Structure 1
Amino acid sequence: MQKISQFSFLVLWGRLALSKGFKVLMPKEQVIAILNQVVMLECNFTVTEEPPLKNIVINWQLANTNQVVHSYYYGRDQLKKQNPNYFGITSLFPEEFKRGNASLRLEGVKLKHSGKYQCYVSNASGSGEGIITVVLAAFYSEPRLIIKQKSSSTSLMFESSGYPKADISWYFGDNKDASVLSNTSYWQDADGLYTVQSTMEINKIENNSTYTFVLRNAVVNQTILRTFTLKAEEYGTSMSKSASTLLLITIAGSVLIIMALAILLYNKYIKAKSIEIIVPNLP
Protein backbone atom coordinates (compact mmCIF):
# COMPACT_ATOMS: atom_id res chain seq x y z
CA MET A 1 0.00 0.00 0.00
CA GLN A 2 2.89 2.33 0.71
CA LYS A 3 4.25 2.01 -2.83
CA ILE A 4 0.81 2.63 -4.35
CA SER A 5 0.37 5.84 -2.38
CA GLN A 6 3.88 6.92 -3.33
CA PHE A 7 3.07 6.31 -6.97
CA SER A 8 -0.09 8.39 -6.65
CA PHE A 9 2.00 11.15 -5.10
CA LEU A 10 4.47 11.00 -8.00
CA VAL A 11 1.64 11.24 -10.54
CA LEU A 12 0.08 14.17 -8.69
CA TRP A 13 3.47 15.84 -8.40
CA GLY A 14 4.04 15.35 -12.12
CA ARG A 15 0.70 16.92 -13.02
CA LEU A 16 1.46 19.97 -10.88
CA ALA A 17 5.03 20.35 -12.14
CA LEU A 18 5.92 23.11 -14.54
CA SER A 19 5.76 21.61 -18.02
CA LYS A 20 6.97 24.42 -20.22
CA GLY A 21 8.29 22.82 -23.40
CA PHE A 22 7.34 19.32 -22.26
CA LYS A 23 4.91 17.28 -24.37
CA VAL A 24 3.83 13.70 -24.83
CA LEU A 25 3.51 12.93 -28.53
CA MET A 26 1.60 10.04 -30.09
CA PRO A 27 2.86 9.54 -33.70
CA LYS A 28 -0.29 7.57 -34.55
CA GLU A 29 -3.87 7.85 -33.40
CA GLN A 30 -4.63 4.26 -34.38
CA VAL A 31 -2.65 1.08 -34.99
CA ILE A 32 -3.76 -2.21 -36.55
CA ALA A 33 -2.74 -5.22 -34.48
CA ILE A 34 -2.70 -8.65 -36.12
CA LEU A 35 -3.92 -11.57 -34.01
CA ASN A 36 -1.10 -13.45 -32.21
CA GLN A 37 1.56 -11.05 -33.48
CA VAL A 38 3.53 -8.20 -31.91
CA VAL A 39 2.29 -4.62 -31.95
CA MET A 40 4.14 -1.47 -30.90
CA LEU A 41 2.24 1.39 -29.28
CA GLU A 42 4.38 4.42 -29.98
CA CYS A 43 4.64 7.16 -27.36
CA ASN A 44 7.31 9.86 -27.29
CA PHE A 45 8.02 12.68 -24.85
CA THR A 46 10.03 15.84 -25.13
CA VAL A 47 13.59 15.64 -23.87
CA THR A 48 14.56 19.06 -22.52
CA GLU A 49 17.69 20.30 -20.80
CA GLU A 50 16.55 18.60 -17.61
CA PRO A 51 17.75 15.01 -17.08
CA PRO A 52 14.92 12.98 -18.72
CA LEU A 53 15.28 10.08 -16.26
CA LYS A 54 15.00 12.13 -13.09
CA ASN A 55 11.89 11.00 -11.22
CA ILE A 56 10.51 9.50 -14.44
CA VAL A 57 7.08 7.88 -14.30
CA ILE A 58 5.60 6.03 -17.27
CA ASN A 59 2.12 4.59 -16.95
CA TRP A 60 0.16 2.83 -19.69
CA GLN A 61 -3.48 2.17 -18.91
CA LEU A 62 -6.79 1.45 -20.60
CA ALA A 63 -8.29 4.85 -21.32
CA ASN A 64 -11.90 3.86 -20.65
CA THR A 65 -11.39 1.96 -17.38
CA ASN A 66 -8.04 3.28 -16.06
CA GLN A 67 -6.88 -0.30 -15.53
CA VAL A 68 -3.08 -0.58 -15.52
CA VAL A 69 -1.44 -2.14 -18.54
CA HIS A 70 2.20 -1.38 -17.60
CA SER A 71 3.80 0.99 -15.08
CA TYR A 72 7.39 2.12 -14.54
CA TYR A 73 8.66 4.23 -11.64
CA TYR A 74 11.41 4.16 -9.03
CA GLY A 75 13.71 3.01 -11.82
CA ARG A 76 11.96 -0.28 -12.57
CA ASP A 77 8.75 -1.94 -13.78
CA GLN A 78 5.87 -1.92 -11.30
CA LEU A 79 3.38 -4.61 -12.29
CA LYS A 80 1.54 -5.49 -9.09
CA LYS A 81 -1.58 -3.64 -10.24
CA GLN A 82 -1.34 -4.82 -13.84
CA ASN A 83 -4.54 -6.05 -15.50
CA PRO A 84 -4.32 -9.89 -15.70
CA ASN A 85 -5.03 -9.78 -19.45
CA TYR A 86 -1.54 -8.30 -19.90
CA PHE A 87 0.56 -10.61 -17.74
CA GLY A 88 3.76 -11.52 -19.52
CA ILE A 89 3.06 -9.73 -22.81
CA THR A 90 4.06 -6.10 -22.09
CA SER A 91 7.45 -4.41 -22.07
CA LEU A 92 8.99 -0.93 -22.22
CA PHE A 93 12.43 0.14 -23.42
CA PRO A 94 14.28 1.74 -20.45
CA GLU A 95 17.42 2.23 -22.53
CA GLU A 96 15.34 4.47 -24.83
CA PHE A 97 13.92 6.72 -22.11
CA LYS A 98 16.83 9.15 -22.47
CA ARG A 99 15.77 9.63 -26.11
CA GLY A 100 12.18 10.33 -25.14
CA ASN A 101 10.81 6.91 -26.10
CA ALA A 102 8.06 5.59 -23.81
CA SER A 103 6.60 3.12 -26.35
CA LEU A 104 4.89 -0.06 -25.20
CA ARG A 105 5.35 -3.48 -26.81
CA LEU A 106 2.49 -5.98 -26.75
CA GLU A 107 3.37 -9.54 -27.76
CA GLY A 108 0.92 -12.20 -28.94
CA VAL A 109 -2.10 -9.90 -28.95
CA LYS A 110 -5.63 -11.26 -28.70
CA LEU A 111 -8.98 -9.79 -29.61
CA LYS A 112 -9.50 -8.81 -25.97
CA HIS A 113 -6.57 -6.37 -26.29
CA SER A 114 -8.41 -4.02 -28.65
CA GLY A 115 -9.39 -0.59 -27.33
CA LYS A 116 -8.03 2.81 -26.34
CA TYR A 117 -4.72 3.08 -24.46
CA GLN A 118 -3.41 6.09 -22.56
CA CYS A 119 0.31 6.82 -22.28
CA TYR A 120 1.21 9.03 -19.29
CA VAL A 121 4.76 10.33 -18.80
CA SER A 122 6.08 12.49 -15.97
CA ASN A 123 9.61 13.58 -15.10
CA ALA A 124 11.45 16.58 -13.63
CA SER A 125 10.51 18.68 -16.68
CA GLY A 126 6.76 18.17 -16.56
CA SER A 127 4.05 15.70 -17.47
CA GLY A 128 1.68 14.85 -20.26
CA GLU A 129 -0.45 12.11 -21.77
CA GLY A 130 -1.72 10.82 -25.08
CA ILE A 131 -4.23 8.30 -26.47
CA ILE A 132 -3.80 5.59 -29.09
CA THR A 133 -6.46 3.16 -30.34
CA VAL A 134 -5.62 -0.49 -31.01
CA VAL A 135 -7.76 -2.22 -33.64
CA LEU A 136 -7.42 -6.03 -33.74
CA ALA A 137 -7.71 -8.00 -36.96
CA ALA A 138 -7.02 -11.51 -38.25
CA PHE A 139 -6.45 -12.37 -41.90
CA TYR A 140 -9.10 -14.70 -43.27
CA SER A 141 -7.90 -18.24 -43.88
CA GLU A 142 -7.68 -19.90 -47.27
CA PRO A 143 -11.36 -20.59 -48.09
CA ARG A 144 -12.60 -24.17 -48.03
CA LEU A 145 -14.77 -25.03 -51.03
CA ILE A 146 -17.69 -27.45 -50.76
CA ILE A 147 -19.62 -28.50 -53.88
CA LYS A 148 -22.99 -30.23 -53.53
CA GLN A 149 -24.84 -31.71 -56.48
CA LYS A 150 -28.60 -32.02 -56.02
CA SER A 151 -31.37 -33.39 -58.24
CA SER A 152 -32.30 -29.98 -59.60
CA SER A 153 -29.43 -27.68 -58.64
CA THR A 154 -25.78 -27.32 -57.72
CA SER A 155 -24.53 -25.40 -54.68
CA LEU A 156 -21.11 -23.81 -54.23
CA MET A 157 -20.17 -23.01 -50.64
CA PHE A 158 -17.12 -21.23 -49.24
CA GLU A 159 -16.04 -21.30 -45.60
CA SER A 160 -13.30 -19.18 -44.01
CA SER A 161 -12.35 -17.70 -40.62
CA GLY A 162 -10.90 -14.32 -39.62
CA TYR A 163 -11.69 -11.00 -37.93
CA PRO A 164 -13.59 -8.69 -38.03
CA LYS A 165 -16.73 -9.75 -39.91
CA ALA A 166 -15.91 -9.91 -43.62
CA ASP A 167 -17.92 -8.42 -46.45
CA ILE A 168 -19.11 -11.12 -48.89
CA SER A 169 -20.21 -10.58 -52.49
CA TRP A 170 -21.16 -12.79 -55.42
CA TYR A 171 -21.13 -11.75 -59.07
CA PHE A 172 -22.53 -13.35 -62.21
CA GLY A 173 -21.16 -12.90 -65.71
CA ASP A 174 -19.69 -9.48 -66.36
CA ASN A 175 -19.76 -8.18 -62.78
CA LYS A 176 -23.53 -8.43 -62.34
CA ASP A 177 -24.17 -8.39 -58.59
CA ALA A 178 -25.75 -11.73 -57.63
CA SER A 179 -25.27 -11.41 -53.85
CA VAL A 180 -29.04 -11.36 -53.23
CA LEU A 181 -29.20 -14.93 -54.57
CA SER A 182 -26.63 -16.19 -52.05
CA ASN A 183 -27.01 -17.24 -48.44
CA THR A 184 -24.29 -16.03 -46.03
CA SER A 185 -24.05 -16.77 -42.31
CA TYR A 186 -21.53 -15.87 -39.58
CA TRP A 187 -20.74 -17.14 -36.10
CA GLN A 188 -18.01 -16.47 -33.53
CA ASP A 189 -15.90 -19.04 -31.70
CA ALA A 190 -14.76 -18.84 -28.08
CA ASP A 191 -11.83 -16.59 -29.05
CA GLY A 192 -14.06 -14.17 -30.95
CA LEU A 193 -13.00 -15.14 -34.47
CA TYR A 194 -15.68 -15.10 -37.14
CA THR A 195 -16.39 -18.10 -39.35
CA VAL A 196 -18.27 -17.22 -42.52
CA GLN A 197 -20.16 -19.62 -44.76
CA SER A 198 -21.52 -18.36 -48.06
CA THR A 199 -23.52 -20.52 -50.48
CA MET A 200 -24.64 -19.89 -54.03
CA GLU A 201 -27.46 -22.16 -55.20
CA ILE A 202 -27.43 -22.58 -58.98
CA ASN A 203 -30.72 -23.95 -60.36
CA LYS A 204 -30.02 -23.62 -64.06
CA ILE A 205 -26.65 -24.17 -65.69
CA GLU A 206 -26.07 -22.31 -68.92
CA ASN A 207 -23.04 -23.10 -71.02
CA ASN A 208 -20.03 -21.06 -69.87
CA SER A 209 -21.83 -19.53 -66.90
CA THR A 210 -19.40 -17.54 -64.74
CA TYR A 211 -19.73 -16.84 -61.01
CA THR A 212 -17.32 -14.89 -58.84
CA PHE A 213 -17.04 -15.07 -55.05
CA VAL A 214 -15.36 -12.14 -53.24
CA LEU A 215 -14.41 -11.88 -49.54
CA ARG A 216 -13.13 -8.55 -48.24
CA ASN A 217 -11.55 -7.74 -44.86
CA ALA A 218 -11.37 -3.95 -45.07
CA VAL A 219 -9.36 -3.49 -41.86
CA VAL A 220 -6.27 -5.16 -43.34
CA ASN A 221 -7.11 -4.54 -47.02
CA GLN A 222 -7.48 -8.28 -47.66
CA THR A 223 -9.40 -9.48 -50.70
CA ILE A 224 -9.97 -13.14 -51.58
CA LEU A 225 -11.46 -13.76 -55.00
CA ARG A 226 -12.65 -16.95 -56.73
CA THR A 227 -14.04 -17.18 -60.27
CA PHE A 228 -15.92 -20.24 -61.60
CA THR A 229 -16.80 -21.09 -65.17
CA LEU A 230 -19.54 -23.75 -65.36
CA LYS A 231 -20.12 -25.79 -68.50
CA ALA A 232 -23.03 -28.18 -69.07
CA GLU A 233 -22.26 -31.17 -71.32
CA GLU A 234 -24.59 -33.89 -72.60
CA TYR A 235 -23.79 -37.32 -73.98
CA GLY A 236 -25.76 -40.42 -75.02
CA THR A 237 -25.23 -44.17 -74.52
CA SER A 238 -25.64 -47.10 -76.93
CA MET A 239 -27.95 -48.86 -74.44
CA SER A 240 -30.53 -46.09 -74.24
CA LYS A 241 -31.91 -43.26 -76.28
CA SER A 242 -32.17 -41.14 -73.17
CA ALA A 243 -29.47 -38.62 -72.57
CA SER A 244 -27.56 -38.18 -69.34
CA THR A 245 -26.05 -34.94 -68.29
CA LEU A 246 -22.71 -34.32 -66.70
CA LEU A 247 -21.82 -31.03 -65.13
CA LEU A 248 -18.26 -30.03 -65.84
CA ILE A 249 -17.12 -27.44 -63.37
CA THR A 250 -13.93 -25.70 -64.18
CA ILE A 251 -12.61 -23.85 -61.22
CA ALA A 252 -10.14 -21.20 -62.10
CA GLY A 253 -9.15 -19.77 -58.77
CA SER A 254 -7.06 -16.80 -58.03
CA VAL A 255 -6.48 -15.33 -54.64
CA LEU A 256 -5.43 -11.75 -54.24
CA ILE A 257 -4.35 -10.88 -50.72
CA ILE A 258 -3.27 -7.30 -50.18
CA MET A 259 -1.98 -6.89 -46.66
CA ALA A 260 -1.68 -3.50 -45.01
CA LEU A 261 -0.06 -3.48 -41.58
CA ALA A 262 -0.02 -0.43 -39.41
CA ILE A 263 3.76 -0.24 -39.23
CA LEU A 264 4.98 -2.22 -42.23
CA LEU A 265 2.98 -2.24 -45.49
CA TYR A 266 3.52 -5.00 -47.94
CA ASN A 267 1.74 -6.78 -50.79
CA LYS A 268 1.49 -10.52 -51.39
CA TYR A 269 -0.03 -12.27 -54.40
CA ILE A 270 -1.07 -15.92 -54.40
CA LYS A 271 -2.48 -17.72 -57.42
CA ALA A 272 -4.40 -20.95 -56.79
CA LYS A 273 -4.11 -24.01 -59.01
CA SER A 274 -6.85 -24.65 -61.53
CA ILE A 275 -9.07 -27.60 -60.66
CA GLU A 276 -11.51 -29.53 -62.81
CA ILE A 277 -14.30 -31.48 -61.12
CA ILE A 278 -16.89 -33.59 -62.96
CA VAL A 279 -20.13 -33.93 -61.02
CA PRO A 280 -22.93 -36.15 -62.45
CA ASN A 281 -26.35 -34.54 -62.67
CA LEU A 282 -28.58 -36.78 -60.54
CA PRO A 283 -31.86 -38.04 -62.07
Structure 2
Amino acid sequence: MASAGFLLLTLAVLNSAWSSQGYGFVEIHCKTQNIGQYEQESRLDCVIHYSKEVEDPEIVTVIWKKEGVEELLKYNHGELTSLPGYSFAEPSWNNKNVNVSLLIHKTAVKDEGVYTCYVFTNSGFNKNQTRLSVTAKYRVPTIQPQPQDIDLNTDGSLTCKSTGYPKGRLSWFDKDNKPWLDQPEVKVLKTKNGLFILSSTLKIQGGSAFSQYTCKVFNARGDEEAEKSFTVQNKSSAEGHGQGAEGTKGSKDSNMILDTMIVASVLVVGSLIVGLLL
Protein backbone atom coordinates (compact mmCIF):
# COMPACT_ATOMS: atom_id res chain seq x y z
CA MET A 1 0.00 0.00 0.00
CA ALA A 2 2.82 2.38 0.89
CA SER A 3 4.64 1.65 -2.38
CA ALA A 4 1.44 2.27 -4.34
CA GLY A 5 0.94 5.60 -2.61
CA PHE A 6 4.53 6.59 -3.32
CA LEU A 7 4.13 5.60 -6.98
CA LEU A 8 0.96 7.67 -7.39
CA LEU A 9 2.57 10.65 -5.68
CA THR A 10 5.58 10.38 -7.98
CA LEU A 11 3.33 10.19 -11.06
CA ALA A 12 1.38 13.25 -9.93
CA VAL A 13 4.56 15.25 -9.37
CA LEU A 14 5.95 14.25 -12.75
CA ASN A 15 2.65 15.07 -14.45
CA SER A 16 2.61 18.51 -12.82
CA ALA A 17 6.14 19.15 -14.00
CA TRP A 18 5.44 17.94 -17.51
CA SER A 19 2.17 19.90 -17.73
CA SER A 20 4.01 23.12 -16.89
CA GLN A 21 6.21 22.47 -19.92
CA GLY A 22 3.18 21.88 -22.15
CA TYR A 23 3.49 18.11 -22.45
CA GLY A 24 0.48 16.97 -20.39
CA PHE A 25 -1.77 15.91 -23.27
CA VAL A 26 -3.48 12.82 -21.80
CA GLU A 27 -7.14 12.40 -20.87
CA ILE A 28 -9.06 9.35 -19.59
CA HIS A 29 -12.71 9.09 -20.58
CA CYS A 30 -14.73 6.72 -18.37
CA LYS A 31 -18.36 5.72 -18.39
CA THR A 32 -19.84 7.42 -15.33
CA GLN A 33 -22.28 4.69 -14.25
CA ASN A 34 -22.07 0.93 -14.79
CA ILE A 35 -24.61 -1.73 -13.79
CA GLY A 36 -23.33 -5.23 -13.09
CA GLN A 37 -25.37 -8.41 -12.75
CA TYR A 38 -24.66 -10.60 -9.75
CA GLU A 39 -22.31 -13.51 -10.58
CA GLN A 40 -21.93 -12.22 -14.17
CA GLU A 41 -19.08 -10.32 -15.84
CA SER A 42 -18.99 -6.55 -15.36
CA ARG A 43 -16.99 -4.12 -17.47
CA LEU A 44 -15.83 -0.68 -16.31
CA ASP A 45 -15.14 1.26 -19.51
CA CYS A 46 -12.22 3.69 -19.62
CA VAL A 47 -10.35 4.83 -22.75
CA ILE A 48 -7.26 7.05 -23.08
CA HIS A 49 -7.45 10.07 -25.39
CA TYR A 50 -4.26 11.80 -26.60
CA SER A 51 -4.07 15.27 -28.03
CA LYS A 52 -2.96 15.73 -31.64
CA GLU A 53 0.44 16.99 -30.50
CA VAL A 54 1.37 13.62 -29.00
CA GLU A 55 3.55 11.42 -31.20
CA ASP A 56 4.11 7.71 -30.61
CA PRO A 57 2.43 7.57 -27.17
CA GLU A 58 3.27 4.70 -24.86
CA ILE A 59 1.66 3.65 -21.59
CA VAL A 60 4.07 3.26 -18.70
CA THR A 61 1.73 2.54 -15.77
CA VAL A 62 -1.96 1.71 -15.24
CA ILE A 63 -3.51 1.26 -11.78
CA TRP A 64 -7.12 0.32 -10.96
CA LYS A 65 -8.25 0.93 -7.38
CA LYS A 66 -11.56 0.73 -5.54
CA GLU A 67 -12.33 2.96 -2.58
CA GLY A 68 -11.38 1.24 0.65
CA VAL A 69 -9.70 -1.65 -1.19
CA GLU A 70 -6.10 -2.35 -2.18
CA GLU A 71 -5.05 -2.26 -5.82
CA LEU A 72 -7.16 -4.49 -8.05
CA LEU A 73 -4.86 -4.32 -11.06
CA LYS A 74 -1.48 -2.74 -11.81
CA TYR A 75 0.61 -2.59 -14.96
CA ASN A 76 4.03 -1.04 -14.39
CA HIS A 77 6.87 -1.03 -16.95
CA GLY A 78 5.83 -4.28 -18.59
CA GLU A 79 4.87 -6.13 -15.38
CA LEU A 80 1.16 -6.91 -14.84
CA THR A 81 -0.28 -7.96 -11.45
CA SER A 82 -3.93 -8.28 -10.37
CA LEU A 83 -6.15 -9.76 -7.71
CA PRO A 84 -8.06 -12.95 -8.66
CA GLY A 85 -11.19 -12.15 -10.65
CA TYR A 86 -9.90 -8.89 -12.20
CA SER A 87 -8.18 -8.23 -15.54
CA PHE A 88 -8.02 -5.86 -18.47
CA ALA A 89 -11.18 -6.11 -20.57
CA GLU A 90 -8.99 -6.42 -23.68
CA PRO A 91 -7.55 -9.99 -23.62
CA SER A 92 -4.47 -9.02 -25.64
CA TRP A 93 -3.85 -5.67 -23.97
CA ASN A 94 -0.43 -4.02 -24.41
CA ASN A 95 1.11 -0.65 -23.62
CA LYS A 96 -0.07 0.76 -26.96
CA ASN A 97 -3.72 -0.12 -26.35
CA VAL A 98 -5.71 2.95 -25.26
CA ASN A 99 -8.59 0.78 -23.94
CA VAL A 100 -7.72 0.34 -20.25
CA SER A 101 -11.20 -0.91 -19.22
CA LEU A 102 -11.40 -3.20 -16.19
CA LEU A 103 -13.18 -6.57 -16.31
CA ILE A 104 -14.70 -8.14 -13.17
CA HIS A 105 -15.14 -11.83 -13.93
CA LYS A 106 -17.76 -12.80 -11.33
CA THR A 107 -19.52 -9.77 -9.92
CA ALA A 108 -20.38 -9.81 -6.22
CA VAL A 109 -22.31 -7.35 -4.08
CA LYS A 110 -19.02 -6.25 -2.48
CA ASP A 111 -17.86 -5.01 -5.92
CA GLU A 112 -20.37 -2.17 -5.77
CA GLY A 113 -18.73 1.23 -5.35
CA VAL A 114 -16.45 3.89 -6.89
CA TYR A 115 -13.36 2.91 -8.90
CA THR A 116 -10.41 5.08 -9.96
CA CYS A 117 -8.22 4.47 -12.99
CA TYR A 118 -4.71 6.02 -12.94
CA VAL A 119 -2.70 6.19 -16.18
CA PHE A 120 0.88 7.39 -16.68
CA THR A 121 2.25 7.61 -20.23
CA ASN A 122 5.39 9.03 -21.85
CA SER A 123 3.26 12.10 -22.62
CA GLY A 124 1.68 12.76 -19.22
CA PHE A 125 -0.45 11.46 -16.34
CA ASN A 126 -4.20 11.51 -15.67
CA LYS A 127 -6.94 9.74 -13.71
CA ASN A 128 -10.72 9.36 -13.73
CA GLN A 129 -13.47 7.67 -11.74
CA THR A 130 -16.42 5.43 -12.51
CA ARG A 131 -19.13 3.82 -10.37
CA LEU A 132 -20.47 0.27 -10.38
CA SER A 133 -23.94 -0.65 -9.15
CA VAL A 134 -24.80 -4.32 -8.64
CA THR A 135 -28.19 -5.98 -9.09
CA ALA A 136 -29.38 -9.55 -8.46
CA LYS A 137 -32.77 -10.47 -9.93
CA TYR A 138 -35.21 -11.64 -7.27
CA ARG A 139 -36.04 -15.34 -7.33
CA VAL A 140 -39.55 -16.72 -7.72
CA PRO A 141 -41.06 -16.53 -4.21
CA THR A 142 -41.76 -19.57 -2.08
CA ILE A 143 -44.88 -19.82 0.10
CA GLN A 144 -44.84 -21.93 3.25
CA PRO A 145 -48.22 -22.65 4.95
CA GLN A 146 -48.61 -23.03 8.71
CA PRO A 147 -50.00 -25.52 9.60
CA GLN A 148 -48.82 -27.64 6.69
CA ASP A 149 -52.34 -28.97 5.97
CA ILE A 150 -54.03 -25.58 6.29
CA ASP A 151 -57.67 -25.36 5.15
CA LEU A 152 -60.40 -22.73 4.95
CA ASN A 153 -61.97 -23.73 8.26
CA THR A 154 -58.92 -23.27 10.48
CA ASP A 155 -56.70 -20.33 11.45
CA GLY A 156 -53.22 -20.29 9.95
CA SER A 157 -50.64 -18.28 8.02
CA LEU A 158 -48.72 -18.14 4.74
CA THR A 159 -45.06 -17.05 4.73
CA CYS A 160 -43.61 -15.72 1.46
CA LYS A 161 -39.84 -15.47 0.85
CA SER A 162 -37.62 -14.26 -2.01
CA THR A 163 -33.90 -13.41 -2.41
CA GLY A 164 -32.23 -10.67 -4.49
CA TYR A 165 -30.43 -7.28 -4.45
CA PRO A 166 -30.77 -4.37 -3.79
CA LYS A 167 -33.57 -4.29 -1.22
CA GLY A 168 -37.03 -4.72 -2.76
CA ARG A 169 -40.46 -5.49 -1.29
CA LEU A 170 -43.15 -8.18 -1.11
CA SER A 171 -46.90 -7.61 -1.55
CA TRP A 172 -49.94 -9.87 -1.22
CA PHE A 173 -52.87 -10.00 -3.67
CA ASP A 174 -56.26 -11.75 -3.54
CA LYS A 175 -57.80 -14.08 -6.14
CA ASP A 176 -58.97 -11.07 -8.16
CA ASN A 177 -55.41 -9.70 -8.29
CA LYS A 178 -56.31 -6.83 -5.98
CA PRO A 179 -53.70 -5.71 -3.39
CA TRP A 180 -54.33 -6.94 0.15
CA LEU A 181 -55.66 -4.00 2.15
CA ASP A 182 -53.67 -4.70 5.31
CA GLN A 183 -50.22 -5.62 3.98
CA PRO A 184 -48.11 -7.46 6.59
CA GLU A 185 -44.63 -6.24 7.57
CA VAL A 186 -41.76 -7.26 5.28
CA LYS A 187 -38.74 -8.50 7.21
CA VAL A 188 -35.28 -8.16 5.65
CA LEU A 189 -32.30 -10.41 6.36
CA LYS A 190 -28.86 -9.84 4.79
CA THR A 191 -26.88 -12.94 3.81
CA LYS A 192 -23.08 -13.29 4.05
CA ASN A 193 -22.77 -12.69 0.29
CA GLY A 194 -24.68 -9.41 0.58
CA LEU A 195 -28.03 -10.49 -0.89
CA PHE A 196 -31.33 -9.66 0.82
CA ILE A 197 -33.88 -12.27 1.94
CA LEU A 198 -37.36 -10.71 2.03
CA SER A 199 -40.00 -12.38 4.20
CA SER A 200 -43.71 -11.60 4.71
CA THR A 201 -46.26 -13.58 6.74
CA LEU A 202 -49.98 -13.25 5.98
CA LYS A 203 -52.41 -14.31 8.72
CA ILE A 204 -55.52 -16.25 7.62
CA GLN A 205 -58.65 -16.68 9.71
CA GLY A 206 -60.86 -19.76 9.53
CA GLY A 207 -63.98 -19.20 7.44
CA SER A 208 -62.26 -16.70 5.13
CA ALA A 209 -64.03 -16.00 1.85
CA PHE A 210 -60.72 -16.17 -0.05
CA SER A 211 -59.14 -19.43 -1.08
CA GLN A 212 -56.29 -18.18 -3.33
CA TYR A 213 -53.47 -15.84 -2.31
CA THR A 214 -50.64 -14.45 -4.48
CA CYS A 215 -47.29 -13.09 -3.28
CA LYS A 216 -45.41 -10.76 -5.66
CA VAL A 217 -41.82 -9.50 -5.34
CA PHE A 218 -40.81 -6.05 -6.59
CA ASN A 219 -37.24 -4.81 -7.11
CA ALA A 220 -35.76 -1.56 -5.76
CA ARG A 221 -37.16 0.37 -8.75
CA GLY A 222 -40.67 -0.86 -8.00
CA ASP A 223 -40.87 -3.23 -10.99
CA GLU A 224 -42.49 -6.63 -10.49
CA GLU A 225 -39.96 -9.45 -10.97
CA ALA A 226 -41.79 -12.65 -9.96
CA GLU A 227 -44.88 -14.04 -8.21
CA LYS A 228 -46.22 -17.19 -6.57
CA SER A 229 -49.82 -18.25 -5.82
CA PHE A 230 -51.17 -20.58 -3.13
CA THR A 231 -54.63 -22.17 -2.92
CA VAL A 232 -56.09 -23.08 0.47
CA GLN A 233 -58.17 -26.27 0.28
CA ASN A 234 -61.74 -26.56 1.57
CA LYS A 235 -61.55 -29.99 3.22
CA SER A 236 -65.13 -30.21 4.50
CA SER A 237 -66.49 -29.45 1.03
CA ALA A 238 -64.17 -32.03 -0.53
CA GLU A 239 -65.26 -34.67 1.97
CA GLY A 240 -68.92 -33.80 1.36
CA HIS A 241 -68.45 -34.26 -2.37
CA GLY A 242 -66.80 -37.61 -1.68
CA GLN A 243 -69.71 -38.79 0.45
CA GLY A 244 -72.15 -37.59 -2.17
CA ALA A 245 -70.32 -39.51 -4.85
CA GLU A 246 -70.35 -42.63 -2.69
CA GLY A 247 -74.11 -42.18 -1.97
CA THR A 248 -74.87 -41.97 -5.69
CA LYS A 249 -72.95 -45.14 -6.37
CA GLY A 250 -74.86 -47.03 -3.59
CA SER A 251 -78.16 -45.85 -4.98
CA LYS A 252 -77.27 -47.14 -8.43
CA ASP A 253 -76.29 -50.53 -7.00
CA SER A 254 -79.62 -50.78 -5.09
CA ASN A 255 -81.62 -49.97 -8.22
CA MET A 256 -79.78 -52.65 -10.15
CA ILE A 257 -80.57 -55.29 -7.47
CA LEU A 258 -84.25 -54.24 -7.38
CA ASP A 259 -84.56 -54.50 -11.18
CA THR A 260 -83.00 -57.98 -11.09
CA MET A 261 -85.44 -59.13 -8.40
CA ILE A 262 -88.44 -57.85 -10.40
CA VAL A 263 -87.32 -59.64 -13.56
CA ALA A 264 -86.78 -62.90 -11.63
CA SER A 265 -90.26 -62.65 -10.05
CA VAL A 266 -91.89 -62.12 -13.44
CA LEU A 267 -90.10 -65.15 -14.83
CA VAL A 268 -91.21 -67.38 -11.92
CA VAL A 269 -94.86 -66.25 -12.12
CA GLY A 270 -94.89 -66.72 -15.88
CA SER A 271 -93.53 -70.26 -15.55
CA LEU A 272 -96.27 -71.18 -13.02
CA ILE A 273 -99.04 -69.87 -15.27
CA VAL A 274 -97.69 -71.79 -18.26
CA GLY A 275 -97.55 -74.99 -16.14
CA LEU A 276 -101.15 -74.64 -14.96
CA LEU A 277 -102.37 -74.12 -18.51
CA LEU A 278 -100.61 -77.23 -19.68
The normalised TM-score by structure 1 is: 0.66
* Structure 1 residues 237-276: aligned runs within 5 Å: 237=243
Question: Corresponding residue for 2:84?
Answer: 88
Given that residues 38 and 136 in structure 2 are in contact (C-alpha distance below 8 angstroms), is that contact kept between their aligned partners in structure 1?
Answer: yes
Q: Name stretches of at least 5 consecutive residues in structure 1 with no aligned partner.
A: 80-86, 239-283
Question: Corresponding residue for 2:14?
Answer: 13
Question: Corresponding residue for 1:131?
Answer: 129
Q: Which amino acid aligns with 1:71?
A: K
Given that residues 213 and 227 in structure 1 are in contact (C-alpha distance below 8 angstroms), is that contact kept between their aligned partners in structure 2?
Answer: yes
2-side partners of 1:185 and 1:95: how far apart?
Answer: 47
Given that residues 141 and 216 in structure 2 are in contact (C-alpha distance below 8 angstroms), is that contact kept between their aligned partners in structure 1?
Answer: no
Given that residues 139 and 226 in structure 2 are in contact (C-alpha distance below 8 angstroms), is that contact kept between their aligned partners in structure 1?
Answer: no
Aligned pair partner of 1:186 in 165, 185, 188: 188
2-side partners of 1:206 and 1:213: how far apart?
Answer: 18
Matched position secondary structure for 1:95: coil
1-side partners of 2:181 and 2:114: how far apart?
Answer: 35
Aligned pair partner of 1:145 in 143, 166, 187: 143
The count of corresponding residues between Structure 1 and Structure 2 is 227
2-side partners of 1:10 and 1:178: how far apart?
Answer: 61
Q: Which amino acid aligns with 1:77?
A: L
2-side partners of 1:126 and 1:102: how far apart?
Answer: 16
Aligned pair partner of 1:223 in 213, 222, 225: 225
1:26 to 2:30 alignment: yes
2-side partners of 1:220 and 1:116: how far apart?
Answer: 25
Matched position secondary structure for 2:93: helix
1-side partners of 2:224 and 2:12: how far apart?
Answer: 43
Q: Residues 220 and 173 (structure 1 numbering): CA distance in 2 closer, same or farther, change over 3 Å?
A: closer
2-side partners of 1:220 and 1:45: how far apart?
Answer: 37
Structure with the bigger percentage of strand: 1
Q: Name stretches of at least 5 consecutive residues in structure 2 with no aligned partner.
A: 245-278
Identity across the alignment (%): 23
Q: RMSD value over aligned CA atoms?
A: 3.3
2-side partners of 1:47 and 1:61: how far apart?
Answer: 22
Given that residues 36 and 132 in structure 2 are in contact (C-alpha distance below 8 angstroms), is that contact kept between their aligned partners in structure 1?
Answer: yes
Kindly name which structure, 1 or 2, has the bigger radius of gyration based on alpha carbons: 2
Q: Residues 65 and 189 (structure 1 numbering): CA distance in 2 closer, same or farther, change over 3 Å?
A: closer
Structure with the bigger percentage of helix: 2
1-side partners of 2:120 and 2:175: how far apart?
Answer: 62
Given that residues 43 and 102 in structure 1 are in contact (C-alpha distance below 8 angstroms), is that contact kept between their aligned partners in structure 2?
Answer: yes
Q: How far is the alpha carbon of 1:42 from its aligned partner?
A: 0.8
Q: Residues 192 and 65 (structure 1 numbering): CA distance in 2 closer, same or farther, change over 3 Å?
A: closer
Q: How far is the alpha carbon of 1:3 from its aligned partner?
A: 7.0
Matched position secondary structure for 1:158: strand
